[in-house]
Chain A
Amino acid sequence: MNEKSGFEPKIVAFLCKWTTYAAADLCGVSRMPYPPNISIIRVNCTGEITADMILSAFEDGVDGILIGGCRPGHCRYEDSNLKGSNRVYLLKRALKEFGLNPERIREVGIAGAQGLIFQRAVEKFTADIRALGPSPVTDHA
């Protein structure tokens, strides 16, 4: 997909409150700017994000979904983050068949102290989604 001029992607970020959300918080209190394209939804664990939540977000006109949780083995709830990751893995396969680019979903594992990494991750994801262009689902929302 070609770069669309003037297109500002809408991105929803589901962030685990223990790690990536804390990193976003750190970004904020450190006055490290990141693109305003993302709307953050704080969750207890990425394991509670269901496939329907992601599909509903796309249906509501979101162009990309960022999922930020703990790195493998660091989950507060045993292996719940990995179960969430399994869902995303399966859902991406389903999205491909439904004709939507699975790159519109990205998972990151960022620790609470890594504000800088969060900032860069958001910048990178926003740029990548901007390059992908508007979600085709958006046209009909």
Chain B
Amino acid sequence: MDKLKIGIYWAAACGGCDCSLLEVNEQILDVAAGADILLWPCATDAKYDDLRGYSDRELDIVLFNGAIRTEENRDMAQLIRAKTKRLVAYGACAHTGGVIGLANLSTRAEIFTTVFGAEKEWPQALSNQAGHQLHLPAFLDHLTPLSDVVDVDYVIPGCPPPRKIVSEFFSALLAGDLPEPGAVFAAEKNLCDECEREREHTQITHILRVHEASPDPEKCLLDQGFLCMGPATRGGCGAVCPNANMPCTGCAGAPADVSDQGTAMLNTLASLVGTGAEGEDQIEGENAILEQIDDVIGTFYRYAAAKSLFGRRYREQHGQTN
């Protein structure tokens, strides 16, 4: 059998996704035996021109990690889409925009001011450096997940994708046993479905952050007041974070039947808080508990701000109201 031709590419990413590919340990040798890696900027020396030289749909599959932040990210996504038969959104940034999607709550100018200071210090798309013309890819106004710029065939969620899922994906790939396009390599149901902690359905009377107390390892983290995103997050990772006594932060995105992860969690949490008081006192008491959440978007939309019902559209006008 001919070897598979695969590619791995990173756009706006931290590099963790590339590392996570090696988490499959010796299985990576099977991958190397069954597939030629034609593109992997993190590990190989292939140039963009090499990629441009391939015929359309020549590659079998490309794992694309990172979000679309610059023109280069977008152009490469489109080029890769043309050169590959199957495209995988690998990791939270490609899937939902990821942590860096929170940048969509700020305008481009705000981001540049924070990072580079005064406007005259901002990097220019075209500049002369020591007699050479330097071209930098433009920084797009908003960050988007991969699926906003090209069609995506598969999703491997997670920040980074957990070993178990990556390993299952490679096994399926090497066996020529990939599912129909559209599949997500994770569970359909939410994380609570596979979490072994005991749920007592007690009311949440106070919100705790992880540095404030040590969670009881047997009981549901939400019951104890830790903001665990489990109810609004796709399972499939094996509840690795709750098993390590840390609340889920929601990296796998929304479960199959949920469109917006943040509002799903918001709905859930609003019904869980309680003080035992009734009437007017109840509202005040419960709102006071909810007030303890320091960072609403950063908690509910930590990975999905760029893909949220609202962030997606509204960020275009951010800063021009009120």
Taking Cβ atoms with an 8 Å cutoff, the residues of A that contact B are 1, 50-52, 55-56, 58-59, 72-73, 79, 82-87, 89-91, 93-95, 97-101, 136-137, 139-141
Contact = CB atoms under 8 A, between A and B. Distances in A.
Given A59-B313, A72-B280, A136 B321 contact: yes
Interface centre among A59, A72, A98, A100 (most CB of B within 10 A): A98
B286 A86 contact: yes
Contacts of B321: 1, 99-101, 136
A89 B267 CA distance: 11
Given A94-B262, A98-B105, A99-B318, A86 B297 contact: no
A93 B321 CA distance: 15
A99 B300 contact: no
Contact of A87 (B267, B316, B318): B267
Given A87-B266, A98-B297, A137 B317 contact: yes
Given A58-B310, A99-B105, A140-B313, A52 B267 contact: yes
A72 B279 contact: yes
6 contacts: A59-B310, A72-B279, A83-B270, A94-B266, A94-B296, A98-B318
Contact of B310 (A55, A73, A84, A139): A55
Interface residues of B, number: 38
Nearest to B305: A98
A55 B280 CA distance: 27
B309 interface: yes
Interface in B253-286: 259-260, 262-264, 266-267, 269-271, 273, 278-280, 282-283, 286
B319 A99 contact: yes
Given A82-B282, A97-B297, A99-B315, A90 B105 contact: no
Given A94-B296, A99-B105, A79 B263 contact: no
Given A94-B300, A97-B297, A101-B322, A137 B313 contact: yes
Contact of B317 (A73, A79, A97, A140): A140
Secondary structure class of chain B's binding surface, majority of residues = helix
Given A73-B278, A136-B314, A90 B319 contact: no
B311 interface: yes
Contact of A86 (B287, B311, B317, B320): B287
Nearest to A138: B317
A99 B105 CA distance: 8
Contacts of A85: 283
B173 interface: no
Contacts of B293: 90, 93
Contacts of A56: 309
B203 to A, nearest CB: 11
A67 to B, nearest CB: 13
B322 A1 contact: yes
Contact of A50 (B263, B273, B278, B279): B263
Contacts of A100: 310, 314, 321
B196 to A, nearest CB: 28
A90 B260 contact: no
Nearest to A81: B283
B184 interface: no
Q: Which 9 A-B pairs have the closest CB atoms?
A: A136-B317, A86-B270, A51-B263, A99-B318, A73-B279, A87-B270, A55-B309, A52-B263, A97-B297
Contacts of A99: 105, 314-315, 317-322
A82 to B, nearest CB: 6
A73 B280 contact: yes
Interface string B100-144: 000001000000000000000000000000000000000000000
A97 B296 contact: yes
Given A51-B266, A89-B287, A101-B322, A72 B282 contact: yes
A94 B260 contact: no
B187 interface: no
Contacts of B280: 72-73
